[in-house]
């Protein structure tokens, strides 16, 4: 046998082996897709929350039991779960001859959003997970109801009372008026007169039925309409959701709500301050600055009513001051402290006559 003939035989053998390697699995695949031996008989579900696992399993069994295992993929499983808006993603694995393993992940409720057509439970990604069912007799939110949540008029506090007199200390829980922040820094002002104030956000009425465990979520207000299973399109609402999701764990569960404009997001913390974040950029740095400021105040055994981390390198805070003491009919101005990024504080005390203490006095 010549060398060229030997090479031809080796080439033919390699080609035949390649065809065999391709043809056998293809034949098995074709046979398996038409054989009842590989029909789905059992479904193993993981990743679903206990409250949803039973309903999800029943939906999968109703749609996929008896279907050939070779014909089931992730797209088909997602289609079977299209009625469940909280399903974020699914992966499938086949355990031959008849077991389908499905692993799913869920959206986590992040906020209650009051839209123009009712209350909705929304995830941090903007996915609308559920709608509040209004019992008969419960008023439907309208533009009038949303207008009631707008920022208080100048000269009034969040509670609707007159602004404190000059020199008076802020009442607990009060926040500076919109557009003002400690040390004269100008915070972003609302771009619309209908922008809600974070201190006057509404809560769902007792007549609104919400999914279990969601009534205590922080509140965000939008004037757009929402629909279950869709994604929020309002950029201001999405910015508020991103900020709420980025809050440290201990503050996330204390957040009462968030109010957003085109340039500003403010969050109210139960038993804590109102926090100005500016826009939704550099959230990691802003959260670190917020934790540093709050830790500084805790170390001083005091509290603050307002924190501005819109510039995370230079955070500002307003302390909670004690009521001014009254002696001989005069009320001295309160001590004001502003805390910066490095935790340093500057103190200025005024005498009853308005002259700084320690300043030289002139003699006649």
pLDDT range class, residue 18, cuts 50, 70, 90: confident
Task: Name the most confidently modeled range: 6-20, 91-105, 334-348.
Answer: 91-105
pLDDT tens, residue by residue, 112-148 = 999 999 999 999 999 999 999 876 655 544 333 333 3
* Backbone region of residue 273 per phi and psi (left: phi > 0; alpha: psi in -120 to 50; beta: other values): beta
CA-to-CA distance for 260 and 232, rounded, in angstroms?
14
pLDDT tens, residue by residue, 187-226 = 443 333 344 577 788 999 988 999 988 999 999 999 999 9
Average pLDDT rounded to a whole number, residues 38-64: 93
CA-to-CA distance for 193 and 289, rounded, in angstroms?
30
Note the pTM of the prediction, 2 decimals: 0.67
Average pLDDT rounded to a whole number, residues 50-54: 91
Buried b (16+ CB within 10 A) or exposed e, 131-157: bbebeeebeebeeeebeebbbbeeeeb
349-358 contact pairs (CB < 8 A, 24+):
none
Above 50 in pLDDT, residue 310? yes
CA-to-CA distance for 343 and 16, rounded, in angstroms?
77
Above 60 in pLDDT, residue 262? yes
Above 80 in pLDDT, residue 266? yes
Top-tier CATH class for 36-106: alpha beta
Q: What angle do CA 350, 353, 354 make, to 5 degrees?
A: 40
Above 90 in pLDDT, residue 230? yes
CA distances from 110 to 6, 179, 214, 244, 272 (A): 72, 27, 9, 7, 20
Give the per-residue pLDDT at 200. Answer: 85
Domain boundaries, the chain: 36-106, 109-150+177-323+336-346
């Amino acid at each position: 046998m010549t060398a060229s003939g030997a090479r031809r035989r080796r080439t033919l053998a390699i080609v035949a082996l390649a065809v065999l390697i391709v043809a056998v699995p293809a034949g098995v695949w074709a046979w398996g897709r038409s054989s009842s031996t590989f029909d789905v008989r059992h479904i193993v579900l993981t990743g679903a929350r206990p409250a949803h696992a039973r309903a999800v399993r029943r939906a999968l069994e109703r749609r996929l039991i008896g279907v050939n295992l070779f014909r089931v993929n992730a797209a088909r499983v997602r289609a079977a779960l299209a009625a469940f808006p909280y399903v974020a993603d699914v992966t499938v694995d086949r355990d031959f001859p008849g077991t389908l393993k499905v692993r799913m992940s869920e959206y986590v409720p992040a906020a209650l959003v009051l839209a123009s057509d009712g209350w909705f439970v929304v995830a941090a990604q903007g996915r609308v997970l559920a709608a509040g069912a209004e019992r008969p007799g419960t008023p439907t939110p309208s533009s009038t109801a949303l207008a009631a949540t707008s920022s208080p008029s100048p000269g009034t506090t969040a509670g609707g009372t007159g602004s404190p007199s000059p020199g008076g200390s802020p009442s607990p829980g009060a926040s500076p008026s919109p557009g003002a922040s400690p040390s004269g820094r100008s915070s972003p002002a609302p771009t619309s007169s209908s922008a809600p104030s974070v201190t006057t956000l509404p809560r769902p009425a007792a007549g609104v039925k919400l999914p279990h465990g969601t009534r205590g979520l922080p509140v965000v207000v939008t004037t757009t309409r929402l629909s279950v299973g869709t994604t929020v399109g309002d950029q201001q609402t999405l910015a508020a959701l991103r900020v709420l999701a980025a809050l440290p764990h201990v503050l996330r569960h204390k957040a009462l709500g968030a109010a957003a404009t085109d340039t500003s997001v403010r969050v109210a913390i139960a038993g804590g301050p109102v926090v100005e974040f500016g826009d939704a950029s550099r959230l990691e740095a802003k959260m670190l600055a917020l934790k540093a400021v709050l830790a500084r105040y805790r170390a001083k055994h005091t509290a603050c009513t307002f924190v501005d981390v819109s510039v995370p390198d230079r955070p500002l805070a307003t302390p909670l001051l004690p009521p001014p003491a009254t002696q001989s009919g005069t009320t001295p101005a309160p001590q004001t402290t502003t805390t910066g990024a490095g935790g340093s504080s500057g103190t200025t005390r005024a005498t009853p006559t308005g002259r700084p203490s320690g300043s030289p006095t002139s003699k006649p």
